[in-house]
Amino acid sequence: MFSQEFIEKIKTAERLTVLTGAGVSAESGIATFRDPDGLWAQFNPQEMASVDGFMSNPDLVWSWYQYRRETVFKAKPNAGHFAMAEIQDYFDPLTLITQNVDQLHQRAGSENVLELHGNIIENHCLDCGESHDDEIDIQNKEVPVCNFCGGKIRPSVVWFGEMLPEDVLYQAGAASEDCDLFLTIGTSGEVYPAAGLPMIAQDYGAYVVEINPNETVYSNRADEKIMLPFSQAMPMIAEIVKKYRTKV
Ligand code: OAD
């Protein structure tokens, strides 16, 4: 299932960098974006995930995020998330970069997760930027208003057309340049700049492995392709790590 080269890398790599996408949460019951039953097959990203969309219909967009939060709060991390957290002390370092906004990696025990696209748990004012995390009453379907400036409160996810958090993107780029093994898991590779990270890692000499049951833009380019779901592949990797490595 895994090549001898991949197994050797799991045993010996000093620095491991991992990029995850919506596919790692699929087995926790959270919809992906671009699969046939994904969110973007049912909803228009320009309407639901852009500042213009939010300004055109704030209550609709807010209630959609409330619905998604409800799903996230009910979901539980899967075996892949737990296996990922289990191996974090065996690499120096393991850098976990995620495009996901659901914080399932953190709930499974992963620390210092680089959230490229923000998260759906927190909120801030569109106008003054003030944090408003207390407004998460998932029964409330109308967009709340900032008590400092009267602006509309929005979820702290990165929307289309917005910049990624600069420090997070910088750290993600640095960890991609400076690793021996890079895993890209559960992402279609359609959204930049995240999608460019596996290529950066490969250009800088890392062994790049894709874990995804389906073909993606990386499939021909990665050094190795594991066509397994996250919840199966990750515990297999963790077994090898725990058998052959010691904690650092
Ligand atoms: P996509 O929906 O584009 O891709 C999900 C990928 O997960 C697909 O390639 C699936 O084949 C794969 N997949 C499905 N089930 C899997 C499983 N059990 N194990 C492993 N892989 C599985 O999601 P992302 O690539 O994460 O951005 O999308 C990137 C960004 O586009 C998201 O962060 C979001 C979206 O617009 C924002 O909201 C800013």
Is the pLDDT confidence value at 140 over 70? yes
**What's the pLDDT tens digit per position in 16-72?**
999 999 999 999 999 999 999 999 999 999 999 999 999 999 999 999 999 999 999
CB 117 within 8 A of CB 158: yes
Tokens for 1? Answer: 């299932």
Q: Is 165 in the pocket of ligand 1 (CB under 6 A)?
A: no
Q: Higher confidence at residue 91 or residue 139?
A: 91
Fold of 1-30+77-117+164-248: Rossmann fold (3.40.50)
Residue the block writes with tokens 């949460």: 25
Which option is the CATH number for 33-74+119-157: 3.90.1150.10, 3.40.1190.20, 3.30.1600.10, 3.40.50.2300? Answer: 3.30.1600.10
Q: Would you call 199 helix, strand, or coil by DSSP?
A: helix
Q: Can you tell me which atom of ligand 1 is nearest the CA of 118? A: 39
State the distance from the centre of ligand 1 to the C-alpha of 33, rounded, in angstroms: 6
pLDDT the model gives residue 132: 93
Tokens for 135? Answer: 């407004």
Helix axes 230-244, 4-12, angle to 10 degrees: 60
Domain boundaries defined on the chain = 1-30+77-117+164-248, 33-74+119-157
Which of 24, 32, 42, when mutated, tests ligand 1's pocket best, judged by the most ligand atoms within 8 Å of its CB? 32
pTM: 0.98
Among the options 105, 117, 124, 132, which is catalytic? 117
pLDDT the model gives residue 227: 98
User: Can 1-30+77-117+164-248 and 33-74+119-157 be said to share one CATH topology?
Assistant: no
Share of the chain above pLDDT 70, in %: 100
pLDDT the model gives residue 141: 83
**What's the pLDDT tens digit per position in 159-197?**
999 999 999 999 999 999 999 999 999 999 999 999 999
Label residue 186 left, alpha or beta by phi (over 0 means left) and psi (-120 to 50 means alpha).
left
Is the pLDDT confidence value at 135 over 70? no
Q: Please, which residues bridge with residue 17 across strands?
A: 95, 182
Residue 137: which pLDDT band, with cuts at 50, 70 and 90?
A: confident
Q: Is 21 in the pocket of ligand 1 (CB under 6 A)?
A: yes
pLDDT the model gives residue 55: 97
